[in-house]
Each structure stands twice: as structure tokens, then as C-alpha cells.
Amino acid sequence: MSNKLKITFLGGVGEIGKNMTAFEFNDEIIVVDAGLTFPGEDLPGIDVVIPDFTYLINNKEKIKAIILTHGHEDHIGALPFVLQQIKAPIYGSRLTLALVENKMKEHPKVAYKAVTVKPKNVLKIGAFSVEFIKVSHSIAGALALCISTPAGNVVHTGDFKIDFEPIDGVMTDLQRFGELGKKGVNLLMCESTNVCRSGYSMSEKNVGRALEEIFKSHTENRIFVATFASNIHRLQQILNLAEKYGRKVAFTGRSMINITEVGSKIGEITYNKDILVDIDKIDKYADKELLIVTTGSQGEPLSALTRMATGEFKQIKIGENDLIVFSSSPIPGNEKSVYNVINALFQKGADVIYDELSEVHASGHACQEEIKTIHSLTKPKFFIPVHGEYRHLKMHKQLAMALGMEERNIVIATLGAQIEMTPNSIKKTGFVTAGQRLIDGYGIGDMDSNVLRERKQLSEDGICVVVMTINNISGEVVGEPFIITRGVVYQDEAEAFVQDTKNMIVASLKEQDLRGCDPAVIKNATRRNVSNFIYKRTKRRPMILTICLLD
């Protein structure tokens, strides 16, 4: 029997998001996380992006479990699509599985089995033994893993930080990491998100103290706090402050309402329900009596806060007595959207506090000194940096080498990479199909999709629709062609452009013998002629749709 552990990276390396890793020993596979990421401007109309998990589908009979480190979307968001194809039990903390249950309500036909685990639980799955380790993060219920196999022990940190003042009173279990280090860790897989930041991450308690100063010094203002809905500990502090300072709380944003209900149901968040008011009834209270907790901290176009900033939120009009606190920092790539919202709020007369002005946000990811602590405690023989763009993985490799690890014992993985580990060796052995699958409503596509190419063409060059009528017997053009353009020419040029295009079409049709001609031939010839005409005139290539009617 082989003593090789095969690790396949389907997401979360060379990128932030859509985390998914498969651990394979002989004919058994366990999958850690099944996350998504959100599309950039180069993916018009796409809702979310998930990993290409073709490899798992091709080996689905081998999959024994899907193990979730925590409940953030970049770790659980792909589950509905994975579970449609793969029938394996999922394991996670109570909050993680509650969030999964909430998500799966949108996919009622997908059956699945969920098993709740706690820190210090040990799960035996075939040749694997999985121990769950308590870690702090920006969501409750986060777990690191120690995966024991005949090829050696693998410590996977998941997303973590070392918070010496955790809101739930339970620190990252450094003692257990140290015990595992003494026992022998063959491979460490450690997150790299904040590896470029020196020192330690800020404690979540600091955010609470900063928020309390804001409540104290803005007693007459209506206060808004925008934060990540999943940050249960942040919400707990905000609700505590609302009760302490006599403010009613209104939630806006579906995810904020859902997660608060889920957290309250399982006891992860507690508050006096008497302080809650419906957003439709806030006009019954004075500004100084209100706290509005909202989504939109990342400038999402359809979020509650963005709609308030643009004056499109029916129940709330932002004014000079409003204070908006962004208890978050922009996710890389979202900076422009966030600052656009902040500017719009300032323009409406509101005062805005964000992370550059006050300690109103603490990252959930470890900085350099915390990462060094995990390396020093676990003393791994081999190391693979995970959860980061390539620059993060490269810097994490350099950090490990500075701590004394030999370069030959460190592997930087890329999407699709398969890495084999034995008790005494680690090496890349090949690649499998990996990348992105695009979720568009109920459809699933890929980067080579015609739909995506057509959307890009429409967004960049517009569309031109040509309708023409041909007498099938005489072959003559009946009347003028009818033309509609969208996004092709500017308004002051449109009338002349359309007329010139009509004249060109009529002239080109008169040059052909159209008696009994196949409409498809006429449509294709006209499409080519119109495309060439528009390109010469505008240097653009819009989508051309031609319709040929026979009279």
C-alpha cells in the first residue's frame, strides 16, 4: 500500500477566494472548503465565481467528506453547486453549518448531510484522522485542522488570527499547535492574506473601544454602522453599545438580517430584542435614539448603504445630522467603489468615519508575527503557503526561510497543481483541470463561454439590429430597412449614421439577384456589409443582428 498523500489545489492559491483543496490517500478523498469569489468588471452579468471542480466530479466515488474551516462565502459559497454533483457529508462548526443551511434554502432540491463538530473533536474518515482546533477569526466558529495520514500530519490553519482579547473569551489554541509541533508536523499549510503586514493584527476589542468613543461623542446624531454581516462578534459589540446608550436598532440588508437571526437562534449572538425596530418605523424616533446597522461596507451597487448614498433607499434620506461609520476596510479591488460611496455620503451632508480615520475595523487575518508564531510552534518539516495571491505566497515562503526552513522543503502551489507528500519528501507531480466556473442566475459557464464574449462585445461596442423585407418573387427590397442601434453612435450623429447605413444596405442588396434566395444567405451577406461599414465609419465592431422577412 502507498504511503503517498496527494494534495490537489482547486482554489485559494494565487488568488484570494474560492478556497478548495482535496487530500487524497489511496482511494479516499477529503475536501477542505468549497468557496466562491465575486466577479470583477471583466465578467459582466456574472453573479459569482466558483472553482472548476471537474477533478472532484471525475473522482466523486472516492470523496468521503467535505470539511469546512468556517462560514465565510470564500469557504462555503460553492457548496450548493458542489452538492448537486457530489454526495458526501459536510462537517463544520455550529455557526458554519447554520449559515450553510440558510444558503441551501435557495436550493431546496439538493439533499445533504451535515455533521456539527467542535474544537478538540477528532474525526476518523478512512485513512484520515481530522482534529479540529479553535482559532480566532472575523467570524465565530472558525477551525484549524490537523489531518493525520500514514504519510504524516498536516496542519491546515484555515483563516486565523491570534487575538489576545477575543470577544468570545476563547483564544486561538496555541497550546495545541505547540503540542502538535512536539508530536511532529510533516506539513504546514498556513494562510498568507496579511503576510505583507508587519507586527500583530489589532484585537477586535479595540474596535469596540473605538466604536464606544464614537457613541459617546455623537449623542445627538443618527448613527449608521456598515460592517460585514458575517462578523458576529462585531455585531455583538455594536448591539451591546446600542443598548448601553439607549438607541433602537434597525437592520438593513438581507444578509445582515439573516445572519443576525441565525446567530441568535444558535446562541452565538445575544441581545435584547426590545431594542430592535423595523426599518419602516424609524420615523417614529428622534435621530439620537437610532442606530442603523447596514450592509454595503464594500460599496456594492445594490447594497442598502449604496442606495442611501444615491438617494434610492425609500425609508432613509441621508442628511447633515447623520454619522456613518465604515467598520470595515476595502477588500482589494473594491477601493474605488467604497470611496465613491463615502464621497456621495459626504456630499449629502453626512459625516463619515472609516478605517483611515479611526480604529473602527480589525482584520480577521494574521500578520507577520502571528504567522511566525504558528511556524515556530508547529516546527513543520515541509511548508505550503495558501490563501493568497502569488505575491503573498512568495513573501510567506521568504518568511519561512528566514525562520530557518530550507527552500527545497517549501512548495508554492498554483491552481490545478497536484503535490505528493511522503513522510520524507514533498514534490509537485502534475496538474489537473482547474480554474473558474461562472455562475449566472441558474446557469453555470466557463471563461470561454460565448455568452460572456457577447456580453463584453455589447458592453464595449453596442448592438445594431437590421430588419429588411424582400419580395420573394421579384427579389426587390420592399421599403427601407429598419435599423435600431444601441451604444454604437452618439445622439447627434445617429440620424445621419442610420440613414447612411440604410442607403448602403439597399445599394448592396440591389447588386444581388434575390429572387428565390435563401434568407439566411441574405442575412449573412448583410451582416458582413454592415459590420465593415460601421467599422470604417466608427472603428467599432458592434454585435450585428439581421432579420430578413419575405413578402
In whole angstroms, give the CA distance from residue 212 to residue 234. 12
Same domain, 220 and 310: yes
- My answer on whether 258 and 186 are in the same domain is no
Are residue 327 and residue 214 in the same domain, yes or no?
yes
Considering the domain boundaries, does residue 369 fall inside one? yes
CATH code: domain of residue 305: 3.40.50.10710
In percent, the amount of the chain with pLDDT more than 70 equals 94
Is residue 359 within 8 A of residue 207, CB to CB? The reply is yes
Same domain, 217 and 346: yes
Does residue 516 fall inside a structural domain?
A: yes
Of the three residues 304, 322, 353, the one that is the final residue of a domain is 353
Q: What average pLDDT does this structure show over 292-296?
A: 91
Instruction: Reply yes or no on whether the pLDDT at 372 is more than 60.
Output: yes
For residues 524-539, give the mean pLDDT.
89
Q: Of the given ranges (44-58, 112-126, 350-364, 374-388), which has the lowest mean pLDDT?
A: 44-58
92 falls within a domain: yes
Residue 110 reports pLDDT greater than 70 = yes
Pair 59, 176 in one domain: yes
Does pLDDT of 47 surpass 80?
A: no
* Domain-embedded: residue 454: no
Looking at the predicted structure, is the pLDDT value of residue 357 above 80?
A: no
| Domain termination residue (choose one: 319, 353, 387) | 353
In tens, the pLDDT along 179-208 reads 999 999 999 999 999 999 999 999 999 999
Same domain, 317 and 441: no
Is the domain of 101 the same as that of 164? yes
Establish if 455 belongs to a structural domain.
Answer: no
Task: Enter the DSSP assignment of 276.
Answer: B
Mean per-residue pLDDT over the chain, rounded: 90
Q: Residues 372, 492: one domain?
A: no
Given a cut of 80, is residue 7 above it in pLDDT?
yes
Which of 445, 479, 505 is where one domain is finished? 445
Least confident of 36-40, 45-49, 268-272, 374-378: 45-49
> Can you tell me the distance from the alpha carbon of 141 to that of 143, in angstroms, rounded to the nearest whole number?
6
* CATH at 34: 3.60.15.10
3-state secondary structure 324-381: EEECCCCCCCCHHHHHHHHHHHHHCCCEEECCCCCCCCCCCCCCHHHHHHHHHHHCCC
The whole-number pLDDT of residue 22 equals 98
Residue-level pLDDT at 300: 82
The domain in which residue 63 lies consists of 5-199+363-445
Grid cell, residue 505, equals: 444596405
Say whether both 55 and 171 belong to one domain.
yes
What was the pLDDT predicted at 43? 54
Residue 467 within a domain: yes
Indicate the number of domains in the chain.
Answer: 3
CATH number assigned to the domain comprising residue 471: 3.10.20.580
Task: Check whether 442 has a pLDDT greater than 80.
Answer: no
Q: How far apart are CA 368 and CA 317, in angstroms?
A: 43
In a domain, 456, yes or no: no
Q: Is 254 helix (H, G, I), strand (E, B) or coil?
A: helix
Cα–Cα distance list, 151 to 33, 73, 126, 166, 381 (Å): 21, 31, 14, 35, 12
Whether 63 and 158 share a structural domain: yes
- Quick one: 380 and 424 in the same domain? yes
Residue 72 has a pLDDT of 93
Same domain, 209 and 195: no
Q: Could you report the per-residue pLDDT of 468-500, keeping only the tens digit for each?
A: 888 877 778 888 899 988 888 888 888 888 899
pLDDT at position 452: 61
Residues with Cβ within 8 Å of 169's Cβ and at least 6 positions away in sequence, in order, are none
The band of 549, judged by pLDDT with boundaries at 50, 70 and 90, is confident
Would residue 209 count as lying in a domain? yes
